[in-house]
Amino acid sequence: MMRTVTIQPAGRSFEVDDSETVLAAAIRQGVGLPYGCQDGACGSCKCRWISGAFDLAQHQLKALSEQERSAGMVLTCRMHAHEDVVLECAELPAADMFPVRKMPCRVQALEFPAPDVAVLRLQLPANEVFRYHAGQYLQFILRDGSRRSYSMASAPDGQPAVQLHIRHMPGGKFTDQVFGALKERDILRMEGPYGSFYLRESGERPLVLLASGTGLAPIKAILEQLASEGNTRPATLYWGGRRRADLYLMDWALAQDEALPWLRFVPVLSEPDADWQGRTGFVHRAVMEDLPDLSGHEVYACGSPLMVDAARAEFSSRCGLPESSFHADAFTSEADKAGPAE
């Protein structure tokens, strides 16, 4: 049975079937709701329920706490409507939504800039147009039907190829393959683009680009987009890791710092090597030390859920960053999705 979902204050309505989540229906119909993991683990699709009966499938408490749920908040990626539903949520412009495509891809190159990080370049079909925003992600469809998500690390440039950064998770169904049997010219199946983490076109406020680990991937794509467009909006890239080896594309980041007069690069290590001469501590705290007033900035943060959640809370409470100026993509692994759930 079909139900109607209405998004306020935009007044946009779309249909959802009993068998699909509200978010899946929105993606299918090109309705721009914010979201990230689609698995109830990141909280990016959180919005406020106004009316209408629904069920909420199992989700992580860090994505939607019991207190938030009692206050009327829901996750559209876990929400099944039983009657017409009204939600309060910021809708993204329809022009920002590219159609989701499913296609084969070929491994064009595979490099290992660190022992636990692979840079994978995929060749896409020449007769297929894969349109996406810098910052979005794709999903690999594995042989058993399971999926694994990775952000594009290259800006869309009209070429039938994309770059991904993949961290090895020992025992991981896909990453063990990448760090073991995968080789050039192998064929994979992918689907995308997904996600609402991408550069908003409006505004000239200075940018804070915040990354931890392989959270650099979508940030790199956003930087490449800015550079290709000749955008001179002031930007600072803060990239954090535990040890020096975690900053696996340091040479690339330093080269961007030198080549782009509007960009400043700040590497930060939380467990620094003995010869490290740079900044130390938590990477989001380095932002707060440099920019105690973020009220006039816009932040794009990507990396571990712990870093993203800490940055969101402290930038707002201590640095005056408006909630609408914080854009984030928390990388959730299968282990994250298996944590404490409601």
Distance CA 197, CA 225 (A): 14
The DSSP line for 298-322 is EEEEEE-HHHHHHHHHHHHHHH---
Superfamily of domain 2-95: Beta-grasp domain (3.10.20.30)
CATH architecture of residue range(s) 99-194: Beta Barrel (2.40)
Peptide bond into 9 cis (omega under 30): yes
In the β-sheet with 137-141, what is the strand arrangement from edge to edge?
Answer: 147-151, 137-141, 187-194, 101-114, 117-123, 161-167
Mean pLDDT is highest, among 57-71, 104-118, 193-207, for 104-118
pLDDT digits (tens, 9 = 90+) for 240-297: 999 999 999 999 999 999 999 999 999 999 999 999 999 999 999 999 999 999 999 9
pLDDT digits (tens, 9 = 90+) for 226-242: 999 998 899 999 999 99
Each domain of the chain, given as residue ranges in start order, spans: 2-95, 99-194, 207-335
Domain covering 207-335 in this structure, CATH number: 3.40.50.80
Q: How confident is the model at residue 69 (pLDDT cuts 50, 70, 90)?
A: very high
